[in-house]
Structures are given as structure tokens and as C-alpha cells.
Structure 1
Amino acid sequence: MQNINREHPEYIARKAMWKQYKDLYAGGERLRMSASEYLVRRHKEPGEVYQERLSRVFYENYVGSIVDWYAATLMRREPMLQFEGNDAGAKTFYSVFSEDCDLKGTNLHEFFRQRFTQTMVCGSSYVVVDFPRATGPALNRAEEDASGRSRAYLTDYSADEVINWNYDPSSGLDWVVIRTSCLKQSKVTDAKWEKETRWIYYDRENYQVYRKAGEGQEIELIDEGRHGLAGLHRVPVFEMKVSEGLWLVNKAALLQLEHFNKSNALSWALTMGLFATPVIYSEREWNQIVGESYYIQLAPGDRFGWTEPEGKVYQIAADNLVRLKDEIYRVCYLMNQAGSGTGDQRMSGLSKERDFSVTQEVLRAYGDAVKDTMKQVLKAVAEARQDGVSIDVLGMDEFDIGDFSNELDDARKLLDLGIASDTLKKQIFKRLAFKYLCDARQEIKNRVAEEIDRE
């Protein structure tokens, strides 16, 4: 395929932005290595001065902490998987799958937490559902399970790795191209590392894998066939995405860059202010040597002083940095964090509660996005495997760090109403049990749910 490396116009427009957002999120040494792209050079600033400023650059990473706070708070409790159906083999598979969903030992909860973090940074992230390659057809389901062909697994890709795509009239993916790169050294005796680039093409039934082994090499087709969701006639790529309003790094990036430049400019000015220049007020011609181990001889009418700033502009800059920091938190819906560092602001308990209620609503919107993607992925896996179960994803809708007894009291009051519904009682018991056993293995949760259903 000659055009496998062609990039979508939207990808071309956004790839520089994605690099910037990843740098702002990561901070630290990664941002310092690219500081020349973000630290604004003053008009006619000497190159030596700018290089010294680059060598002293620092970065106060508010947006990275905000993204990690949202990811940690949203996934503080594991999402609950609820199965309906009598397929014991399928439930056993999903117990194993939830503990290792990518064949690398990553559980389903941690896998989607990482995808959510990528979504907050880049606006979207991608999950591919795949199955082990088979050499021939299986005679029955038992042989398929025994050979490992039905062992579905997930692979993650970031937004900057999906380079080209097309949608059908119903807004479903028609085909997609994914590009990944890595440094490889086939043998320890090889003289140098080679950059290997791979392209994976998926359409509704087939996949193709292309490779370029190094600079100057040709792109070659190395694998092709039918993918795991060919029977469903759909592309096995699922996108986790948030709206522009909930794309936090995009909302805060310009503020974070402004804070970065202002804080470094203020730091440089303060540093230079420590090296004040002496000033001699005298009517005589001045030709004395000034420095350590020298003395200055002054006439009776001469005066000595230092050139140093009064500090008014420094105070204005410091106040502006505080305002920028507060604005970063505000646009990220963390109003209770904005202004927390100033001693002259007082917030009532009710005001703090109202501010956090806004944050909770945003967290619920994120929870809905994560659950929707999880449901799509699990539903596709179940349909491809032809499992006799229906799967629902619950949770990620309560974020108060409170006592579990409050939830028990609410459940008790609901049951005391005497509603004549066995289904309601079972659902309440299962929800309480899943929350209490949020860190337990999925196998244990399934067993508890089955025992409650048998009551």
C-alpha cells in the first residue's frame, strides 16, 4: 500500500499541539529539554543571555497535578462489572480478563485509568480489541478456549499514533491506520540502534501490518488477515473522547504557558537583582579599580550607592502569577483550589460545598465517558466470543470520601419503605456488596452476585 503513511488533515493540524500538551503534562526534564519551544525570547535579547535563561529554566506543573487528581478521584473505586446470564465459562473468562486485560498483567481498572489520563491530555485515546492469531479453524468452542484463540485482549494507542481514518455516513469507523515507532537492536553485537516504524491498517473485516526496518529501507507488508471482530463487520478500534469543554489540558495550556514565561522572567530578574552595580556620586574623574580586596577612596562630598530595583514591578508580577495559577484551577472546575494560597480570602463551608458540587458533576461526566467506552469494548468482546451474558458497568458516580455507613443508612431507609420488589432488593444488595468489595477479584464479585440472585 503506497499511501499507508498518509496523514489525515486533522492529524496534521493537531500533531504539534499534542506534543506541546504532553510536554506540559509531563513537565520535569521532558519540558526542560524542549524549553526553547516555550520560553519566549525577548526582542533583541543576546543569545548568551537567552541560553543562560534556558539553562536555569523551571516549570511549576499545575495542569499535570490537576489531570492526575481527576484520574485518581474518578477511579478511586474500581468500576463494577455486572453480568446477567448463566454462562459460567464466560464469567470465568471475564474474571481472568479483568485482572489481565492486555496480556501484560494490567487490570481493567488501571488500563482504563491510563486511557482516561491520555484522553485528558490529548482529547482522545484509542483501544483495540484483538485475539491471538490462529492457524486454522477450531472444531468447537472447547478447542477454541483450550488453544487460547478466544482469549481476547486489549491494546492501547494514543491520539498521535492514529494517523488516518475514515467514517461512514452513520459516524462509525470505516477504516483506520495506526503508526508506531520504536528503537530496536536485533543483536547485542549490532553497531547501532535502528528506528523501526510499523503501520497497522484495520477495516471492517481485515487487517494489514506494514514495517519499515530503518532509514533508507522500503515499507513492506509483513502480515495480513481477518481480525477478531470481522464476524461483527466492524473496525476493532474504540475511541475514548471528551468534549472540548471537558478537555482540561486544552483549556489550561495557554494559561500554563503564560505562567511558565512570567515565573521564569520574574526569577531571572530577581537573580540579576542580587548582583547590584555600585554607583559613585562624585564631581571628580573616577579611575579607581572596584572589586573584592580593593578599597574606594571618597572625597568629603562624594556619595556611594547601588543600582537596584524598587520592587514595584516585581510585586505586580508576583500578583499576576497568583492570578494565573487561580485561573488554571478555575477553568479546570477546581474553584475550591483557586485562591487557597492567599491568606486574605475566606470561604464558608457552604461555598466550598457548592464549588465541589461543580467538580463532582464534571467527574460524573468523565465517569460516563469512561463507562461508555468500557461498555462498548466489553460488548464487542462478548459478541465476538458469542458469550451468553450481558455486561453492564456501574460506579464512578460517587466521589465523596465519606463513611460507608452513610450508604448503608440510605439503603436501609429505601428497604424500609417496603417496596414489593425482589429485583430492587437484589440490586441494592449487589451494589452495596460491590462497593464494599471494590478491591476484590472479579471472580469473588461474580460469586457474591450469584449468591444474592439465588436468594
Structure 2
Amino acid sequence: MAKDVRALSAVVKAMHKPLPLIRALLGGTAAMRAAGKDYLPQWPNEQSESYAARLAVATLFPAYNRTVEVLAGKPFSKPLTLSDDVPARLKAWCEDIDLQGRNLHTFAATLCEEALGPGFCGILIDYPTTKGLRTQADEQQAGVRPYFVHIRLDDMLGWRCKRVNGVWTLTQFRFLETAVEEDGDFGEKAIEQVRVLYPGRWEIHRKVDGKDDWTLHDEGTTTLKMIPLVPVYGKRKAFMIGVPPLLDLAFMNVEHWQSKSDQQTILHVARVPILFTKMLGDEVEITVGANTAVKAQSPEADMKFVEHKGDAIEAGRKSLLDLEDQMRQAGAELLVIKPGNVTEAQTVADNEQGSCALQRIAGDLEDAIDAALQLMADWVGEKEGGHVTVYKDFGAATLAEASADLLQKMNVAGTLSDETLFEEFQRRGMIRPDLRWGDEQQRIGKPRPGAAPEAA
């Protein structure tokens, strides 16, 4: 029995640190509210009831979520294609690559979202147990075949690696998984277990009931003499180490979440005027209404409403708008083509053209899928796994062009109004500065020349 099989390694602990923030932002308003004081601190001397009310009405500007969604969709706006050297049976398996109904295109799109969000994940090429099946023909007749499993960074526990013939190679990999077993006639129970992979063999550990110890539950061998896991990086730092490429945007989104809550609070205060009275006397009853009057006993008495001037409100509004613009630019920077190349090899590979950060992520994902297909081929004795091509012709020449594309996507999704889109395009110099939104609305409403009249 071992307690440390479930423990996080130091490297994984460091990579897990931004995960709660990223998952909360990707989860939207509900997830951010559930996080509570983690990302919306309670003010000094603020009553718990007041804080709970403030948290309950807070809404998230979905900058991070929408940016990840839009950017991850770009490489897959056109179908992923398989080369001619992909074996016929692998092509057929790509229509249900994970044995859960997802084809390779959809599976790869999910990997891209994870690369842009948490910044790291893995493709495990798994193979069902073949007890009682003696030959490959028996396996084919039974429908047993390798398949892809998406391993999230959240479920990774640790690994060991070393150089083999000059190449970094995994010698151990641990991750969490959940086994679902029947419980009674109709119920079921989920059991957490740790799978440990070694070259040529595997182990499954489960927790001992009522104790902190873990015991070996099952084990077996594989025909592969390597660990069939392919890493997928967002921003690669080293072998099996990746960081979120949009982490700065995530921090800015939290700043906006907090600042917007402050703005909502001051708006609530400013919208409710305070009734001020002076020297009316304790015996005077005050009734506020259109058909009422208040009679004062002292000539120095006074009564009036005190309202907020609103200077802080306007300053807060401008601050939020500035922050929203900074977030759009932070996301758009991944689409801007950077001139020049890093190395001679990269220059040849890129055909002497620069590339944007998202194109490099798409290229790394393409390489990872190629490696996964080769492992799938190795499982069944195929010499060649083939190659895939991911669409990468979406770079933008300037930041203005890249951010304009993101704005248009937000408008189509309904998270940005037509008028704001018009103003943002105008600010980027893409629309003449003398045009006005009201005039454009009238022009849009007019029928186009030569258009057929609408039916009565």
C-alpha cells in the first residue's frame, strides 16, 4: 500500500496553480459566483449579508471564455484532413476516434481549447483488455481496437522521464480516472482510481475503505514498449511542461469582474437619493408623496434630497471600457503574424514567412495528432500512421485587423451590440470618421437598389 501514488508532483502542483481561475472563467458567471471570495473579495467592515447580495447580482464579462472559444475555432473552421498514407482502418476509426461518438476533427478541436485554456493536456492511446482473445483476428472480430483518450491537466498527478537515444521519453505516468460500477439493481457508484503507466505495463490503484492508503487493484502488460501518451502544449516551456498562453487575459478578466461589481454598487447607491432634513423637530411626521406637505416649526428648518454627483460613476465606466479594450487586444495578439523566424530550420519549415502564435499552436497540435496516429498504428502492427493537416491560414497583419475579427465574432454571438461594433471599427480606422451610427441605421433600413419589394 502507498499513500504517495495519489500525490501531486512538484511540477504538476506548479502547473495546477492557475487551473481554478481558468476553470472558473470558462464556467461563466455561475462558476465565478460559486468561487465567491476567491475572486471577489469582501470589503473591510462589509456585512456578510451585503456581500452575499453584491455577489448574487455580479455578472461576468465573458472576455476570456469567448476569446478561447473564438481562437480555438479558427484552426477548425475548415475540416481537418487526412493524408493518403493513413491506413484504411485508421481512417475508419477516425470517424469515432474516442469510442464515444466523436470524430478526429471534433476531438482535436477540444484539445485546442485545452491548449489555449489550461495550456497543457495529453492524448492517451488506449487499448481495451483482450482477455480470452489470442490472435489479432480474434480482436478484429470482437471489435477491439485502439482509441484516443483526452487526459486533462486537472487529472494529471505526475510523471518521470529520461533521455533515451538523446530524446526525452516518459518512463512513468500517473493520472486520475473514475470507474463507474453497478450498485444494487438500479444504482451505480463512481470510484476514484489512479492509473500508473510504465513502458510495457500498467497498474490501477484504489483507495482502501476508511483509510488514506491506496492498494494495487489491477495490473497488466501491453505490447507497446513505450508509454502511449502524446503531450499537447499551449505555450511549451520544456518537455511535458506547458503554460496557459492567455493567462494575462485571465487576470484582466478577474480585474474587470471585481471593478464591475464596484461599479454596480456605486450605481445602486447613486440611483437612490437620500432625504436630508434639518431642524424639523421630533414631533413632525414625514410622508413623501405628490399630495403631501411637511410643516416646519422653525424658520431655519430645511428638507431636501441629496444625490450623488456621478463623477466617480463616469470614471468607473471609462475604466471598464479601457479594460475591455485591453482584453480584446490581449486575445487578438495571438492572431498577429510576427515578422522573422527564430531558426534556420523554422525558416525552411515556414517557407520563409512569419506566423502568429495561434498558428504555431495549431502546428504543434498537428504534430501531436500525427504522433498519436503513429502510436495507434503501432498498436495494430501498421508501419505508418499517416499525417493530418490542420487549417492555419488565418493570421492577421495588424492588431487592429485581428481585434476587429474578434469583435465581429462577439457581435454574431450576441455579446456585443451593433452600435458598439460600428464604433470599434470606426476607432480602428476601418470606417470613415464622419459617419454616424444613426445615419447608418437609416441606410441599413432602406431597400437595396434593384431589390424585389417585400410582400404585403
TM-score by length of 2: 0.73
1:27 counterpart SS class: helix
- Structure 1 letter corresponding to 2:207: K
Matching residue of 1:262: 259
Provide, for residues 50-99 of structure 1, a one-character-per-residue CA deviation record: whole Å limited to 9, x for no partner: 122122222111100000001112211122110338xxxx31x1232111
Choose the corresponding residue for 2:125, options 126, 129, 147.
Answer: 129
8 Å CA contact retained: 1:211, 1:221: yes
Matches of 1:30 and 1:287 in 2, distance apart?
Answer: 52
Cα distance in 1 between the residues matched to 2:261 and 2:54: 8
- Percent identity of the aligned residues? 16
Q: Which amino acid aligns with 1:22?
A: R
1:114 aligns with 2:115: no
**What does residue 179 of structure 1 align with?**
176
Residue 96 of structure 2 corresponds to 100
1:166 is aligned to 2:166: no
Whether 1:32 aligns to 2:42 is no
Amino acid across the alignment from 2:154: D
Deviations 1:378-434 (Å, cap 9, x if unpaired)? 111112322144512223212389xxxxxxxxxxxxxxxxxxxxxxxxxxxxxxxxx
Amino acid in the other structure paired with 1:322 = L
In structure 1, how many angstroms separate the alpha carbons of the residues matched to 2:361 and 2:119?
A: 12
Q: Structure 2 vs 1, CA of residues 314 and 182 (structure 1 numbering), >3 Å: closer, same or farther?
A: farther
Q: 1:198 aligns with which of 177, 186, 193?
A: 193
Mean Cα displacement is larger for which, 154-163 or 386-395?
Answer: 386-395
Q: 1:287 to 1:332 in 2, by over 3 A?
A: farther
Query: Structure 1's 132 and 196: CA in aligned 2 closer, same or farther, altered over 3 A?
Result: closer
Is this contact kept in 2: 1:329–1:335, CA < 8 A?
no
In the alignment, is the contact (CA less than 8 A) between 2:75 and 2:390 conserved in 1? no
Aligned length: 368
Aligned to 1:52: 53
**CA-CA distance at 1:10 after TM superposition:** 2.3
Structure 1 residue aligned with 2:24: 23
Relative distance call for 1:381 and 1:316 in structure 2 (3 A) is: same
Aligned to 2:437: none
After superposition, residues 48-447 of structure 1 pair within 5 angstroms as 48-84=49-85, 90-91=87-88, 93-136=89-132, 138-139=134-135, 141-149=136-144, 151-169=145-163, 170-181=167-178, 186-187=183-184, 196-212=191-207, 216=211, 219-227=214-222, 230-231=223-224, 233-243=225-235, 247-280=244-277, 282-283=278-279, 285=281, 287-292=283-288, 295-298=293-296, 302-333=301-332, 361-399=356-394
Which piece of structure 1 moves more, 373-382 or 130-139? 130-139
Shift of 1:167: 1.6
Q: Is 2:14 the partner of 1:13?
A: yes
Tell me the CA shift for residue 236 of structure 1. 1.3
Q: 1:395 to 1:253 in 2, by over 3 A?
A: closer
**Comparing 58-67 with 36-45, which one deviates more in the overlay?**
36-45
Shift of 1:271: 1.2
Per mean C-alpha deviation after superposition, the further-off stretch among 302-311 and 199-208 is 302-311
Q: Answer yes or no: is the 8 Å Cα contact 1:194–1:214 preserved in 2.
A: no
- Give the secondary structure class of the aligned counterpart of 2:206: strand
User: Which amino acid is the alignment partner of residue 102 of structure 1?
Assistant: D
Conserved 8 A contact 1:333-1:362: no
Summarize deviations over 1:126-155 as a string: whole Å, max 9, x none.
11101121125634x444422334x11111
- The 1:359–1:20 alpha-carbon spacing in structure 2 relative to 1, beyond 3 Å, is farther
Contact 1:252 1:332 in 2 (8 A): yes
SS at match of 1:83: coil
Amino acid at match of 2:378: E
What amino acid sits opposite 2:235 in the alignment? Answer: S
Listed as ranges, the gaps of 5+ residues in structure 1 are 338-357, 402-455
Which SS does the other structure have where 1:304 is aligned? strand
Q: 1:290 to 1:74 in 2, by over 3 A?
A: farther
SS of 2:227's partner is coil
Contact 2:334 2:357 in 1 (8 A): no
Find the aligned partners of 1:195 and 1:94 in 2 and give their Cα distance: 32
Once the two structures are superposed, what CA deviation does each residue of 1:180-214 show, in whole Å capped at 9, x if it has no partner? 34787723676xx8652111000111111122386
After superposition, the CA RMSD in angstroms is: 3.0
Provide the rounded CA distance (Å) in 2 between the counterparts of 1:287 and 1:196.
71
8 Å CA contact 1:127, 1:239 repeated in 2: yes
